Structure 1
Amino acid sequence: MRAEPSLPRHHLPPDRLAELVRGEGGPETLDLLLGGERSRRLLLLRMLDDATDLGPAWDLLSEAQRRAPQVVDDLLMYPQTGMWLTTALRRLRGRTPMDEPPLWVELGHMSALAAAALRAEFDFTIEVPVRHGRVPLPTLGCAVLPETEPWTRATVRAEGGRAVIEAAGAEVALPPTTGSAGPGWHPVRRLTVGARGRRLDIVLDDVDPYRTYPQPTEPRPLSGEAAAQWRRMLEQAWELLLREQPKTAEAMRRGVFSLTPTPAGERFRPRSVSAGDAFGGVEASEPDDAVQLAVTLVHEFQHTKLGGLLHLTPLLTHDSDRGKELWYAPWRNDPRPLEGLLQGIYAFVGITRFWREHRRAAPAQTAMAHFEFALWRAHVATAMEQVHRHPRLTPLGTALLDTLRDHCAQWLAEPVPEEPLALAHLCADDHVARWRAHHRRPAALRPSTGPYGHGWTGRADRPAPWRPNPRSCPTPRHAGWTAWRCSSATASAARTTTGSRSTGPRRPQPGSAER
């Protein structure tokens, strides 16, 4: 009996692993993570084909792979492809109960993916799903057809270099040039910002149904004016990152591929999301300004790197009671499991590092940057003190938190002007006090404030960090008063320095999507 031949394994050399442990990671490290992601996508695609016969779509994609492997590789590594693969597999296994779209539409996305390989320039015909009158083709765009039924089928024909989508007696011809608009056709916009050699090439995706995380969303094409505004914001944000965070920006060029725009939220509370299954994808609300978008990109890029690392090696051991142990995350209003807290710590280390550099580079916004730096270093320190010796941490997980704690300790020793420092302490104390009042029950036979109120009679008596299995009272999130206070505090700090009301960028409390 012969043993199965061993397969090559993805491996992170010690120096590359050390970069990620520090919360960093250069282009070479990103390439290694991308190699792991590519193998993972191929395995997921094979698992999906094993679970359900993908038929003509599999054959078409295989033919495209033989003719134009780079085209198929681009499709495979597109963030939304990863999101679709895991969504479809979870539905097949009954882990994600959903009524819509119908399962045949979900699985039929494979046909749309295969049809998007028309850039391989060969003739084919294939049926694809129609979603509320729209036919999205990943990385290309979507056609609009006069369909009244929410879920139906269309035919994609490619012949002699011409491609059309037909349904309901109507036909939409795809323009011969990728990225061009045409009657009934909304192209995916590709944004290129920055000088030669330092450019960021990114897709502004408003049509792929798997562009939003974690639930799919039907195509909602942007207006030309809205797309132009996103381009302007991205140009300015990228210029800032190149100037102040050049190493991070260089790595982003290898690890950020798509940006999904969503409507602006409440001022000072941008919403951004990324997903481990959609490596390189960022979903973000319209920013107040370029600095806010730069912070969002840094934030979600941190999640992307950690997600890629977690696909190669664990930072936590398995927990059969996962979800029962909850923790205080200073950037959230709700209790978080250990996995989510670890993600948040990693992301906000990146944010703290951003503000640390920005306060040196932006004289007009120094007070605001001092405040943000002081606030986030305190929040990150609080989060790490709770769990840095948690028994579920693997040796690598322990090394990561120990390293990040050392960095944070150095940041805590750096001087911050008195006014923004005091305001940051006020906002941090306000958030934890409200979180305790909202989520934790006072001990029996104590006054209504219990030990928590007593613990806040003075800063020297600050309560100890949370312990495993805190006695948490799971209730809806408390109102976002902290965001309002942080906004006011930031404006106050700016007035103190400049003598006028600041209209600069601020991100005192993240939106509901933070880990």
Structure 2
Amino acid sequence: MIPTEHRLPRAVLDELAAGRGGAEGVALLRAAQHSKSILLVRAIVLLLRQRGHPDRAAVEAAYRLLAGLRPEVRAAALAHPPAAAWAFGTAALLGGADPTRTYPGLLAAVAATAAVRAGVTADLEVPLAEGAAGRLDLPGLGTAELPAATTRARIRVDRGQAWAHGAGERVAIGVGSTDPRWQPVPRLVLAHHGLRLSLLLDTRSWRHVPGIGTGHRIGGELTPAWRSRLEEAWRLLVEHHRPVAEEIAGAIRALVPVGAPRYGSRSGTFHHAFGSVAMSLPPDGRSAAVVLAHEIQHAKLAALTDMFALLEPGPPELFYAPWRTDPRPLDGLLHGAYAHLGVAGFWRRQVRATATGAARYRAEVEFARWSRAAEDTVRVLAAQRRLTPVGRHLVEGMAAVLAGWVREPVSALAAEQAGRLLAEHRARWDRSRTPTG
């Protein structure tokens, strides 16, 4: 497996700086992320060889199998978001002082997934995760329940049929398996006006990602409420936000359900898991659409920062962010501004798509609020000396877009309410940082 050299055309960078990028930009970012995963997997193999790890032989066999597969099959397996995040975390831990908290054998499970999907003849040993004897997780494919004594499974693929073997038992796996011991990963397919979004709900594979599987409340089923709200969100995005929907369709591959906070909702992306969106159950379809429009911005910017440094190293500094209750470091402020450029753009399009009434008023308030908040924040970013040339180009691109948006008219009542919300947020933030007593 050889990573590719990647270049980002200036025209695409200009589009990304304006908060867009389109299907072309997303495809270029995704290709670069695949090369990143190849480099990480190669590092894992070399580190296991250096350390004489007991799973070295299984991992090296998996690497050879992946190298011999068609590039698109290999890319699909390695680009599965929890697999990509696992590769980053595992390489980092193996290269550090404490490699014991890793599960390098997951690469064998990733290779097994690829072999099953491709239908190629294969015979792979897959070490199971510590503490998970009898449970074989194949990222993006499913989970096989084997006898509890199983600590190392075998995956055999022959003539398009696949089985998992352990402790003398065999479980049929893959598409078409009716064995009750096989649980396929649920998939939600959304389609509207010719645009398709396919989301895997692979909650089990995230357990193996260092720092994520233990640090987040990941879990939940694909309930009718999830389906209906995401279907409504997809219709809204395709009909009124088509360019954003095309970016989402080209980038997002996995939905990560997380528990809701006590108040409101929660969403986010994982930097090294390109193509995933974490969110709690949204209250309605429009809220889900806003989350997707917000998180695709984070995904694009995270992938861009893997290609280019946007900030020079510097002393820790914290800044006010109009969308947070806590102060943010400079990189977090940049991410937040880019994401809220996307949020403001969503509500701007909603204003145009909504004729009258309370829905239009809400869209005007949200557009005025977030375009002003993002512009104020971009002005702070523009004053920072730590911006690299690419970082400054990004900030200048955002500034140019927002300068036009804040001049666009909204109703007087909406403008007044937006200003009130911004002022109230800043006042609460200032009060929370005023010493008492």
Deviation at 1:211, TM superposition (A): 8.6
1:281 to 276, 282, 290: 276
SS in 1 for 2:430: helix
Match of 1:325 in 2: 317
Match of 1:72 in 2: 74
Is the aligned partner of 1:406 residue 2:408?
no
Match of 1:301 in 2: 296
Deviation at 1:275, TM superposition (A): 2.1
2:389 to 391, 395, 420: 395
For 2:332 and 2:67, how far apart are their aligned partners in 1? 37
Label 1:190 to 1:45 Cα distance change in 2 as closer, same or farther (>3 A): same
For 2:211 and 2:412, how far apart are their aligned partners in 1? 42
Is the aligned partner of 1:356 residue 2:348?
yes
Label 1:313 to 1:32 Cα distance change in 2 as closer, same or farther (>3 A): same
Label 1:279 to 1:211 Cα distance change in 2 as closer, same or farther (>3 A): farther
Match of 2:154 in 1: 156
Match of 1:467 in 2: none
Deviation at 1:282, TM superposition (A): 0.9
Residue type of the partner of 1:85? A
For 1:21 and 1:310, how far apart are their aligned partners in 2? 13
For 1:184 and 1:221, how far apart are their aligned partners in 2? 20
For 2:210 and 2:245, how far apart are their aligned partners in 1? 24
Query: Mean Cα displacement is larger for which, 269-278 or 355-364?
Result: 355-364
Label 1:420 to 1:398 Cα distance change in 2 as closer, same or farther (>3 A): same
Match of 2:187 in 1: 190
For 2:237 and 2:245, how far apart are their aligned partners in 1? 6
For 1:429 and 1:41, how far apart are their aligned partners in 2? 44
Match of 2:204 in 1: 207
Is the aligned partner of 1:375 residue 2:369?
yes
Match of 1:55 in 2: 57
Match of 2:135 in 1: 134
Match of 2:248 in 1: 252
Deviation at 1:168, TM superposition (A): 6.0
Residue type of the partner of 1:277? H
Q: CA-to-partner distance for each residue in 1:182-217, whole Å, 9 max, x for gaps?
A: 412221122221246421222222221259895125
Deviation at 1:279, TM superposition (A): 1.1
What count of residue pairs does the alignment treat as equivalent? 421
| Contact residue 205 and residue 261 of structure 1 kept, 8 A | no
Deviation at 1:397, TM superposition (A): 1.6
Residue type of the partner of 1:60? A
Residue type of the partner of 1:191? L
SS in 2 for 1:300: helix
Residue type of the partner of 1:20? L
Match of 2:213 in 1: 216
Q: CA-to-partner distance for each residue in 1:445-492, whole Å, 9 max, x for gaps?
A: xxx8xxxxxxxxxxxxxxxxxxxxxxxxxxxxxxxxxxxxxxxxxxxx
For 2:208 and 2:369, how far apart are their aligned partners in 1? 32
For 2:363 and 2:224, how far apart are their aligned partners in 1? 28
For 1:407 and 1:176, how far apart are their aligned partners in 2? 47
For 1:334 and 1:24, how far apart are their aligned partners in 2? 28
For 2:166 and 2:188, how far apart are their aligned partners in 1? 31
Match of 1:316 in 2: 311
Larger radius of gyration: 1
Deviation at 1:146, TM superposition (A): 6.0
Identity of counterpart residues, as a percentage? 33
Label 1:307 to 1:81 Cα distance change in 2 as closer, same or farther (>3 A): same
Label 1:228 to 1:307 Cα distance change in 2 as closer, same or farther (>3 A): same
Match of 2:230 in 1: 234
Deviation at 1:356, TM superposition (A): 0.9
- TM-score, structure 1 as length reference: 0.75
Match of 2:53 in 1: none
- TM-score, structure 2 as length reference: 0.87
SS in 2 for 1:327: coil
For 1:302 and 1:213, how far apart are their aligned partners in 2? 24
SS in 1 for 2:383: coil
| Contact residue 58 and residue 127 of structure 2 kept, 8 A | no
1:26 to 11, 15, 22: 22
Q: CA-to-partner distance for each residue in 1:489-510, whole Å, 9 max, x for gaps?
A: xxxxxxxxxxxxxxxxxxxxxx
For 2:432 and 2:206, how far apart are their aligned partners in 1? 37
Label 1:164 to 1:16 Cα distance change in 2 as closer, same or farther (>3 A): same
Q: CA-to-partner distance for each residue in 1:236-283, whole Å, 9 max, x for gaps?
A: 11111111111111222211111112234455x221111221111111
Instruction: Note the 1:406-485 alignment, pairs <5 A.
Output: 406-439=400-433
SS in 1 for 2:104: helix
SS in 2 for 1:209: helix
For 2:209 and 2:424, how far apart are their aligned partners in 1? 32
Deviation at 1:220, TM superposition (A): 7.1
Deviation at 1:372, TM superposition (A): 1.4
Please list every run of 5 or more consecutive structure 2 residues that lacks an aligned counterpart in the other structure: 50-55
